[in-house]
Amino acid sequence: MDHSTWILIAEISNFIATLFAIVFVADLLVGFVHWAEDNYGQVHWPIIGKSVIEPNLLHHSKPKAFCKNNWWQSADYQIMGALTLMVIASFGGWLHWELVAVLALAVNGNEVHKWSHRSKQENGKLITWLQDHKLIQSRRQHSNHHSGDKNTYYCTLTEWVNPILEKIHFWRSLEWTIEKVTGVSPRVDPAVLKRQARERAQASTITLPEITYSAHASTVYLEAV
Of 82 and 112, CB closest to Zn ion = 112
Which of these ranges, 6-14, 35-43, 98-106, 161-169, lies near Zn ion under the rule CB under 5 A? Answer: 35-43
> Is residue 175 a contact point for Zn ion (CB under 5 A)?
no
> Is residue 159 a contact point for Zn ion (CB under 5 A)?
no
Q: How far is the CB of 113 from Zn ion (least distance, A)?
A: 6
> Is residue 38 a contact point for Zn ion (CB under 5 A)?
yes
Q: Give the integer Cα–Cα distance in Å for 171 and 151.
A: 8
Which of these ranges, 30-38, 65-73, 92-100, 159-167, lies near Zn ion under the rule CB under 5 A? Answer: 30-38
* Count of other CB atoms within 10 angstroms of residue 114: 23
Q: Give the integer Cα–Cα distance in Å for 176 and 104.
A: 31
Do 75 and 57 meet the contact criterion of CB atoms below 8 Å apart?
no
Of 38 and 175, CB closest to Zn ion = 38
Q: How far is the CB of 117 from Zn ion (least distance, A)?
A: 6
Which of these ranges, 7-15, 37-45, 125-133, 198-206, lies near Zn ion under the rule CB under 5 A? Answer: 37-45
Q: Give the integer Cα–Cα distance in Å for 82 and 107.
A: 7
Of 9 and 58, CB closest to Zn ion = 58
* Rounded alpha-carbon distances, angstroms, from residue 129 to 17, 120, 142, 168: 24, 9, 16, 30
